[in-house]
């Protein structure tokens, strides 16, 4: 993208329908859009990872709390048989 912005590649004629070429500005815009989409996807994946870690942490805390309550109940009840 920096290469296209610096106009080092010049105008590139890729042909196409009705013999219309693609300028370096168009190519730079395409590459910029692709880079932006990749960055957005990476940010989403990072956020999903954070949320997944939070869910694992919360579920682990709930499970350990339930086990602790069961053990506490088991050892504090009187054993009259």
Residue 58 lies in a domain: yes
> What does the pLDDT look like over 14-57, one tens digit per residue?
555 554 666 778 888 889 999 999 999 999 999 999 999 999 99
Residue 12 lies in a domain: no
Q: Which domain holds residue 72?
A: 23-80
Residue 28 lies in a domain: yes
Residue 2 lies in a domain: no
Residue 72 lies in a domain: yes
Q: Helices H, strands E: what count in the chain?
A: 2, 0
Inter-residue contact 27 to 12 (CB < 8 Å): yes
Inter-residue contact 28 to 4 (CB < 8 Å): yes
Residue 76 lies in a domain: yes
Please state the pTM of the whole predicted model.
0.52
| Cα 44 to Cα 31, 49, 52, distances in angstroms | 20, 9, 12
How many structural domains compose the chain?
1
Environment class of 81 (CB within 10 Å of its CB; exposed 0-12, middle 13-18, buried 19+) = exposed
Residue 4 lies in a domain: no
Residue 9 lies in a domain: no
CA–CA distance, 24 with 74 (Å, rounded to integer)? 74
């Amino acid at each position: 993208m920096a290469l296209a912005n610096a106009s080092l590649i010049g105008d590139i004629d890729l042909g196409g329908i009705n013999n219309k070429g693609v300028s370096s500005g168009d190519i730079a815009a395409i590459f910029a859009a692709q880079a932006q989409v990749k960055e957005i996807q990476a940010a989403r994946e990072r956020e999903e990872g954070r949320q997944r870690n939070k869910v694992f942490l919360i579920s682990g805390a709930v499970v350990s709390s339930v086990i602790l309550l069961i053990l506490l109940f088991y050892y504090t009840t009187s054993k009259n048989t």
